[in-house]
């Protein structure tokens, strides 16, 4: 049984973006250990104590702002090399907030419909998609999730727990049995979450530009109207199928007892 961990971060949740995204990478424990060591060595060599996507791209930032173009490019190249060497693959799921809001508005009042927040939808989709890919490598694989402490961590844990408690062989419960734990870490404690921050930042720009990707080392998608309709309608159909099964089982039990 192969064990994997997804280290994730979010972007676009500050109210200033039209898009929300959850992204990061997946690796076995030893891969994350290697990344932590390599990332720490890069920070030390570069004379910085921490990396954050927004600060790195802020020309007014006191740490990264004065860097030359060449130094910045070399730093990013080193980041890419570490991530590529130490992780199994990157994963990112984004959603257009306005499109998601419109889908939820149209489905409001439908029996069995339970809307997700933009963040929860991205995380839910990411976990399912990641497990779907890992199962191709090892049918008995298990996946744990780690995020950084913050305003979205409790919501992430709630989404994780709701899915992990599900049963059934179809979406969204299909891979619930593969989920092997959820954790959060204080800011700065896990350098692997800085790598997740980097991946999330890179991925948002690429997905907005329409550069979706599914390859050996990257899973990245922007959820649009057709996918969202299919996702929610599929979950409602699954709930209705479960209700019908329960009704038939109850009817059969009543007939046998009489």
Quote the domain boundaries for residue 43: 3-257
- Contact (CB, 8 A) for 24 and 195: yes
Its pTM stands at 0.88
End-to-end alpha carbon distance in the chain: 47
Model pLDDT for residues 162-216, shown as the tens digit of each residue: 999 987 776 667 899 999 999 999 999 999 999 999 999 999 999 998 888 888 8
Q: State how beta strands 218-223 and 3-11 pair.
A: unpaired
Q: What angle do CA 103, 107, 109 make, to 5 degrees?
A: 150
Q: DSSP characters for 34-98?
A: HHHHHHHHHHHHHT-S---HHHHT-TT-TTTTT--HHHHHHHHHHHHHHHHHH-SEEEEEEEEHH
| pLDDT at position 190 | 96
Task: Give the span between the Cα atoms of 57 and 236, in whole angstroms.
Answer: 42
Q: Which residue has the higher pLDDT, 246 or 50?
A: 50
Q: Which of 47-61, 134-148, 222-236 has the lowest mean pLDDT?
A: 222-236
Per DSSP, which regions of the chain are E strands? 3-11, 19-27, 89-96, 142-148, 179-185, 213-214, 218-223
**Token pair 């920070």 in the structure block, residue:** 43
| Domain at 204, CATH number | 3.30.420
- Contact (CB, 8 A) for 145 and 6: yes
Residue 25 has pLDDT above 70, yes or no: yes
Domain count, the chain: 1
Model pLDDT for residues 60-106, shown as the tens digit of each residue: 999 999 999 999 999 999 999 999 999 999 999 999 999 999 988 88
C-beta neighbour count of 32 within 10 angstroms:
22
């Amino acid at each position: 049984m192969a064990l994997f961990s997804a280290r994730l971060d979010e972007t676009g949740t500050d109210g200033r973006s039209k898009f929300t995204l959850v992204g990061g990478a997946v690796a076995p424990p030893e891969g994350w250990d290697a990344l932590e060591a390599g990332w720490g060595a890069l920070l030390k060599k570069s004379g910085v104590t921490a990396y954050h996507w927004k600060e790195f791209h802020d020309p007014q930032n006191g740490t990264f702002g004065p860097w030359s173009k060449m130094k910045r490019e070399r730093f990013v190249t080193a980041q890419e090399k570490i991530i590529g060497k130490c992780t199994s693959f990157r994963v990112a799921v984004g959603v257009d907030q306005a499109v998601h809001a419109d889908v939820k508005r149209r489905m409001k009042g439908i029996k069995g419909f339970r809307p997700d927040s933009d963040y929860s939808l991205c995380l839910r989709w990411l976990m399912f998609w990641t497990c779907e890919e890992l199962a191709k490598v090892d049918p008995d694989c298990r996946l744990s999730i780690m995020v950084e402490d913050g305003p979205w961590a409790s919501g992430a844990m709630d989404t994780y727990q709701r899915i992990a408690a599900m049963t059934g062989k179809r979406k969204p419960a299909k891979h619930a049995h593969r989920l092997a734990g959820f954790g959060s870490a204080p800011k700065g404690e896990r350098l692997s979450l800085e790598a997740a921050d980097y991946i999330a930042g890179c991925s948002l720009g690429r997905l907005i530009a329409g550069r979706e990707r599914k390859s050996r080392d990257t899973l990245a998608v922007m959820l649009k109207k057709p996918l969202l309709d299919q996702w929610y309608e599929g979950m409602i159909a699954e709930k209705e199928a479960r209700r019908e099964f329960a009704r038939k089982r109850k009817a059969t039990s009543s007939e046998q007892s009489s």
